[in-house]
Amino acid sequence: MLQAELFLKAGAVLAEGSVYDKGSDSLYWVDIDGRALHRTDLVTAHDQQWGTPSRIGMMRLMENGGICVALEDGLYQKTETGYTPLAMLPNRPGRRSNDGNCDANGRLWLGTMDLSGGNGGSLFRIDQGKVTEMVTDISCSNGLCFSHDNRCLYYIDTPSEKLWRFDFDLTSGTVENRTALIDYSAEEGDFDGMTIDSQGQLWIAHWEGWKVSAWDPQTGKKQEEIRVPAPKVTCCTFAGKDFSTLYITTAHTEGIEGSGHLYACRDTGCRGQEFARYRP
């Protein structure tokens, strides 16, 4: 088992959604309940933040050089003075946006969660501002990523205790044939955020599990674990100029000194790659 080391004493409430920007060699991440977007320089560890008017579920870089963020009710572009709407989700009380990711054609796939704990959440596709509901009956939409051949969508609805696989068509932007790839009911904690390395291996954060685990999606077998000094591990992403360091976000837990901070694991032996960007 590998060990994560402290990178930034962030003091976040609910750190999530990390994205690497190679141009500035910095890591963007969000504090959902702290209502803030952060950018941390990976060389100096200097952290800059911007407040948001509501809880922020995730962020992505845009093809036009901008930054988009998912606030509770939809997708917005960050500006110098605030946030400009790009696409609004259907008005459904008791729901908010959570995690998301872009496919290779620049469409953003954004999930929502049912704040009552029911199955009223959904997975939406946002294609140049047009919102389409793609998957329904979701409880808490979390990590999602696409296979390198663009034929599979891997997806976590946390309370289901399964990592799901969909057949994905890049041209049409559609998903079908939902099947359970990994049953994690016997694992420590619940699956939360997720990323994929250059070899197609899935790296998954464990909420209330004190760790990140790596899985082979071809076999459904666990390959590696990284111990993290905080129980609520939320998200991970490969970053740095050579994409060789896995950066890990955590949420605050009362009485746990190491919680709410950012961690790094530099000896996974794996590399990541740049995320696709949103095409407005």
Q: Which residues are catalytic?
A: 192
Q: What is the DSSP letter of 173?
A: T
Cα separation of 109 and 106, whole Å? Answer: 10
Cα separation of 114 and 141, whole Å? Answer: 9
**If DSSP states are collapsed to H, E and C, what string results for 229-272?**
CCCEEEEEEEECCCCCEEEEEEECCCCCCCCCCEEEECCCCCCC
Residue type present at position 183: D
Cα separation of 74 and 88, whole Å? Answer: 4
User: 208 among the known binding-site residues?
Assistant: no
Cα separation of 52 and 100, whole Å? Answer: 18
Contact 60, 66 (CB under 8 A): no
Contact 126, 75 (CB under 8 A): yes
User: 142 among the known binding-site residues?
Assistant: yes
Contact 77, 86 (CB under 8 A): yes
User: 242 among the known binding-site residues?
Assistant: no
Contact 194, 203 (CB under 8 A): yes
Q: Which class for 200: exposed (0-12), middle (13-18), buried (19 or more C-beta within 10 A)?
A: middle
The two tokens of residue 171 are 């041209």
Cα separation of 130 and 243, whole Å? Answer: 32
User: 91 among the known binding-site residues?
Assistant: no
Binding residues: 16, 96, 98, 142, 192
Binding site listing for a divalent metal cation? 16, 142, 192
Binding residues for substrate: 96, 98
